[in-house]
């Protein structure tokens, strides 16, 4: 029995690393755009970081919801690939593009109301104008971001992640160059500060979306994939089934990022300095979360494979192997943050007061990455095991029912500032991770649910 477990653990671990590595790198690259913006603004002023943090918070909510809504492209492409229906994969992508544009346009329309949003949420008058301007410029990047995500999911579903990595890191290089020009001005342009960082990031997102779409259009096997064929049926009626895959994921991600956006508003109530601290801690947490998300995505694939073939023990082991590696990786990050909090803060700002003020929040991030990594891992495993709605319900309960009131009470009412906000985040994340893990344990002990029909055409092959 021990030999059986060891062999399967080794196999799952090997497959996990192979699948997780490219996802981690590409997702980290997407977040690196914002992280570089904050780090470069932190060398200008704490006020600029605060304007960027507050102004970007509505954009992040809309972007993450949109990413969840595009999940159907990844799922449907993978399924057609498994059935070796290659011509259908391009149809999925073609139907996904108009849907991506629609999601981006709806999001952009909302970002044009940033000044009303910040005024209604009680932000300081000095923050509203600059922050709303950042929201607008970021909102212009929603359509290209959705197009990029849909195309990236298509390529990842085909098992071709390298072009996605090249596009996102090329965009990071472009963003860095534009930031050097736009944030502090030059070549005839005045210093644009936070607006400059937002404009640079939007241009970089448009460039990476255009490059990736052009790459897919010019694929050498575009004919076999049906990339240039007009979708039949059309994008709306034909993509209805694909879109349903993303509804649960979009709702779950929306609850979580929406709650973080509310806490960003609370940080705004505390003043520009507190808002800058919250922005630094949040950027750090988001970057470390990408490692957990990569492992979670790979774990979902492994759980889904075992679930599809009706192998209950292997399905359970796939989930627990992913959980073990997540705790190991997040635990390592936690140790680094607890040993070197000041050095980590210095990455984001050269303001000595802001760096010192960020240390308590960074220490809390060290604990938080373990709980947050655990909850996203188990949520992905549950969805892959045909249990998609429990993570959404728990996201609403943990982040809206628990985190928002608790963050307000600790951070505002008890005047614990950003540290209190992050204590609320930590407690909510621990609750979410604990309940989802118990749910996964219960499902692991049950028999396999009704499995989907077996795929035709043999196992998936690289194409």
Sequence-distant (≥ 6) Cβ neighbours of residue 384 within 8 angstroms: 299, 300, 301, 303, 304, 307
Q: What is the mean predicted confidence (pLDDT) over 165-171?
A: 91
Q: Which residue has the tokens 């802001």?
A: 354
pLDDT at residue 459 in the model: 34
What's the confidence (pLDDT) of residue 451?
A: 42
Q: Is the pLDDT of residue 84 over 80?
A: no
Using the predicted structure, report yes or no on whether residue 53 has a pLDDT greater than 90. Answer: no
> For the residues 57-70, what does the mean pLDDT come to?
86
Prediction pTM value: 0.74
pLDDT band at residue 36 under the 50/70/90 scheme:
confident
For residue 289, give the nearest of 440, 146, 434, 429 by alpha carbon.
Answer: 429
Name the pLDDT band for 454 (thresholds 50, 70, 90): very low
- The gap from C-alpha 158 to its chain's centroid, in whole angstroms, comes to 21
Residues in the chain: 463
Strand partners, 186: 189
Phi, psi for 174 (deg, rounded to 5): -60, -40
Q: Is the predicted pLDDT of residue 134 greater than 80, yes or no?
A: yes
Give the residue, 433 or 118, on which the prediction is more confident. Answer: 433
How is the chain split into domains, by residue range? 2-445
Banded model confidence at residue 209, pLDDT cuts 50, 70, 90: very high
How far is residue 434's CA from residue 243's CA, in Å, rounded to a whole number?
30
| pLDDT recorded at residue 122 | 79
Distance CA 463, CA 457 (A): 14
pLDDT at 48 over 50: yes
Instruction: Give the torsion sign (CA, 347, 291, 442, 157).
Output: positive
Rounded Cα distance, 165 and 25, in Å: 7
């Amino acid at each position: 029995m021990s030999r059986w477990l060891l062999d399967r653990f080794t196999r799952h671990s090997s497959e996990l690393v192979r699948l997780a590595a490219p996802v981690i790198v590409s997702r980290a690259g997407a977040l690196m755009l914002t992280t570089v913006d904050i780090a470069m603004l932190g060398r200008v002023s704490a006020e600029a970081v605060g304007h960027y943090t507050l102004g970007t918070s509505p954009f992040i909510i809309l972007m993450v919801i949109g990413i969840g809504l595009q999940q159907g492209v990844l799922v449907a492409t993978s399924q057609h690939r498994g059935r070796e229906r290659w011509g259908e994969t391009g149809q999925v992508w073609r139907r996904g593009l108009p849907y991506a544009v629609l999601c981006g346009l709806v999001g952009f329309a909302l970002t044009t109301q940033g000044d009303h949003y910040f005024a209604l949420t009680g932000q300081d008058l000095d923050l509203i104008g600059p922050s709303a301007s950042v929201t607008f410029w970021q909102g212009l990047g929603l359509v290209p971001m959705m197009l990029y995500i849909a195309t990236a999911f298509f390529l990842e579903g085909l098992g071709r992640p390298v072009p996605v990595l090249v596009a996102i890191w090329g965009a990071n290089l472009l963003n860095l160059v534009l930031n050097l020009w736009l944030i502090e001005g030059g070549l005839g342009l005045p210093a644009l500060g936070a607006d400059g960082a937002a404009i640079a990031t939007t241009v970089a997102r448009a460039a990476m979306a255009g490059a990736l779409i052009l790459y897919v259009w010019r694929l050498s096997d575009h004919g076999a994939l049906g990339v240039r064929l007009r979708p039949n049926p059309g994008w709306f009626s034909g993509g209805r089934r694909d879109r349903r895959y993303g509804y649960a994921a979009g709702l779950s991600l929306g609850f979580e990022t929406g709650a973080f956006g509310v806490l960003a508003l609370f940080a705004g109530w505390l003043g520009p300095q507190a808002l800058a601290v919250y922005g630094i801690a949040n950027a750090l947490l988001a970057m470390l979360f990408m490692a957990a998300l990569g492992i979670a995505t790979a774990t979902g694939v492994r759980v889904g494979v075992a679930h599809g073939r009706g192998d209950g023990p292997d399905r359970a082991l796939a989930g627990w192997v992913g959980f073990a590696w997540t705790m190991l990786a997040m635990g390592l990050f936690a140790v680094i943050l607890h040993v070197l909090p000041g050095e980590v803060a210095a990455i984001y700002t050269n303001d000595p007061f802001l760096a010192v003020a960020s240390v308590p929040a960074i220490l809390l991030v060290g604990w938080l990455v373990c709980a947050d990594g655990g909850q996203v891992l188990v949520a992905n495993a549950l969805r892959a095991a045909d249990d998609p709605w429990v993570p959404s319900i728990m996201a609403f309960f943990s982040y809206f029912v628990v985190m928002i009131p608790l963050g307000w009470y600790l951070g505002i009412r008890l005047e614990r500032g950003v540290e209190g906000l992050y204590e609320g985040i930590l407690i909510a994340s621990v609750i979410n991770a604990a309940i989802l893990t118990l749910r996964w344990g219960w499902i692991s002990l049950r028999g396999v649910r009704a499995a989907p029909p077996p795929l035709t055409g043999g196992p998936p092959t690289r194409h």
